Amino acid sequence: MPTTIQRQSLSRAISVGLRSSMNMLDGLIAALQLSFSVDPRIIEITLRSLFVSGSAALIAALWGIPIATIIAMKDFHGKFLIKTIFNSLIGIPTVALGFLLFLAFSRENGPLGFLRLLYTPTAVIIGEAILITPIIVSLATTAIEAVDPEIANLAKTLGASESQASFAVLKEALEGIFLAGIASFNRAIGELGIAQFVGGFIYGQTELLTTGIWVELQLGNPRTSIALMIILLTMVFTINLALNAIQRMRGREWKPLLNSET
């Protein structure tokens, strides 16, 4: 037979639970409203995130694809070692990389401090580009290696020079390379460690989606936090879904896109 106190505690627990669920629902609805509104700050944060991570993905692709082509198509000493190194660099924790870059860009003691890059979006672009280059190199290498090795020879029998033949191989691997690029963009826009350490979260200057979610929560604005989270998740999920759909149409299964820790 529950005692009075126990009954009171139980009813209180239920009311607390109901209250917080209502609050949560309330908050969720408000957050949804916020994320779909045209709040200029939210738009600014979203656009800046896209610009920063997009630039990082572009830079990583510019470097990564030629490197991947060389690794995939040439035989050289230490090829296996290099591939292993790139593969393992994929999992580098962003806090570690972020902290390292923070030290490097530090105004006073950092070797790159004179560039005054700390707490700027540029620093985040550089950091994220470094972070995702191993991803694009690894995935692009796999994509190129999956191409029939005789394609290069075929191109040559049709009159192609060495470089023209390499381009023919690249063209065959284009889909895989494109997916590698998307995967790396995904990783960049969803990472927190680098954005935090070298970006800060300076109002109007370096606010990004991921740091935004974190900081707004700290500052006691869960609605803004959830709104940003909704935007980020929608973006990432849409990209993933679209890619899966494309892969399914071409009749192949896609490995889940990399999304380890922050």
Residues that bind another protein (CB under 8 A): 16, 20, 23, 51, 55, 58-59, 62-63, 66, 69-70, 106-109, 113, 116-122, 125-126, 129, 148, 150-151, 153-164, 166, 168, 171-172, 200-203, 205, 215, 217-220, 222
Nearest of 123, 126, 124, 141 to residue 64 by alpha carbon: 141
Which CB atom, from 79 or from 107, has the smaller least distance to another protein?
107
Which CB atom, from 88 or from 164, has the smaller least distance to another protein?
164
**Contact status, residue 239 vs residue 186, Cβ threshold 8 Å:** yes
Rounded distance between C-alpha atoms, residue 88 and residue 84, angstroms: 6
Rounded distance between C-alpha atoms, residue 40 and residue 178, angstroms: 32
Which CB atom, from 87 or from 106, has the smaller least distance to another protein?
106
**Shortest distance, CB of residue 238 to another protein, whole angstroms?**
25
**Shortest distance, CB of residue 150 to another protein, whole angstroms?**
5
**Shortest distance, CB of residue 13 to another protein, whole angstroms?**
10
Which CB atom, from 94 or from 133, has the smaller least distance to another protein?
133
